[in-house]
Every structure is written in structure tokens, then in C-alpha cells.
Structure 1
């Protein structure tokens, strides 16, 4: 069964005309701004880690920020902020679901 709405949005560090977005640390900066938006609200020292709802990563050599749909449900203004960031900077956005790396069966080597 296919979910009617994506669980995650991928903001990619590639503009619609194919250029790499700069500065090179844009994903970490964006995720850092969003660090206090997390399940249960801001926690002591939450500024020291990324929110599980907005995480920088690299996929196929492209810097991305994975934004989980729970952010939209919990903090619509924060969701609008990251979506407007992508739109204002002409970044490619994909709706998808991040699939975790497969764990090899017990007794096998990867």
C-alpha cells in the first residue's frame, strides 16, 4: 500500500538549473537553525545536535537536508521556513522516504 503523503522531503543542494548550491556548508547551517524544533520541544543543550525532523546528509554525492513531515505537523512556521528557503534559493526538492541501509542477516558478511 502506498502512503498518500510522503514522510520526508529532500532539499537537494542542486539548483533547478543544475548548479551546486553554495556555500558548501549550507545543509549544516539550515539544519543547525532548526535544531530546537524536535519532538517534545526544545530541550537543554538541544542546540548541540540536529533535530530528528531536519537532518543534513549526503545522498549520491549531493548535499541534502532531509525534512520529516512531523515538522509540518508540529511547527508549521518552521516547516514554511525550510520550504521557503528551498524555493527562494531555487533548490530542487523531492518528496520521498529515506530507506535505512540494509542490515545483513546474522552470520553473513557485508
Structure 2
């Protein structure tokens, strides 16, 4: 369950049955569809990069999409689309916070 106070929601590429979600590029496809939703709205060429509000990543070997709550505030229908995608496909979701990678040691 996702709370209304969540800052980020992780949509995981694992179903509630524990199966890996297919197709394997689902996260890239979802983020591609969401690329137009970004701070300042769509700009020329913005379809060529992911929105900072909907980013694909891999966590512990599982493909995920991190959906930022700023999307909910700016474009509620886009937020609903992303979360309904997860629900419709029986994907696991978690409230969490994506932390930046630590600086590399020299």
C-alpha cells in the first residue's frame, strides 16, 4: 500500500506471486511514456531523457521504477497512471527513499 505522505514509490519488477515481470524492458518503457512529465513541463527533446520524477533503476538485481511524489503534485493523472500500471500488473510497490550513491574512495 502506498501512503499519501510518500516521497517516493518504488514499483518493483516482481509480482505479488514472486515472479519476475515481463517484458524485461518494462521499466524503460514505463519511464519512456512518463518522460514528458517533468519540472517545467515538456520541452523540445525532453522525450529523449527520462523525467526526474519517474526513473528506472535496478535494486538488488530487481528492475524497479522510482516514482517521485512531485509527479503527484504536478500531474495527478500521470501519478495515477504509474501506480495503476503497477496495480494492474500485480507488481509489488514500496514507499522508500532513493539515496545517492556514496562517493567513490580513491
**Is the structural similarity TM-score above 0.5?**
yes
How far apart are the structure 2 equivalents of 1:27 and 1:103?
26
**Residue by residue, what CA displacement relative to the aligned partner does 1:16-55 show, whole Å, maximum 9, x if unpaired?**
0100000000000000000000000000001100000001
1:68-107 equivalences under 5 Å are: 68-104=68-104
The 1-side partners of 2:60 and 2:41 are apart by: 32
Q: Which residue number in structure 2 is paired with residue 37 of structure 1?
A: 37
SS of 1:35's equivalent in the other structure is helix
1:24 aligns to 2:24 (yes or no): yes
Q: TM-score, normalised by structure 1?
A: 0.90
Q: C-alpha distance in 2, partners of 1:100/1:51?
A: 17
| Stretches of structure 1 lacking an aligned partner (at least 5 in a row) | none
Structure 2 length as normaliser, TM-score? 0.93
Say which SS state the counterpart of residue 85 (structure 1) adopts.
helix
Q: Aligned equivalents of 1:77 and 1:59: distance in 2?
A: 27
* RMSD (Å) for aligned C-alpha atoms: 1.2
Give, in whole Å, the separation in 2 of the partners of 1:45 and 1:79.
22
Moved over 4 A (4+): none
* Count of aligned pairs between the two proteins: 103
User: Any residues of structure 2 matched to 1:55-74 within 5 Å, and which?
Assistant: 55-74=55-74
In structure 1, the partner of 2:52 is 52
C-alpha deviation, 1:6, in angstroms: 2.5
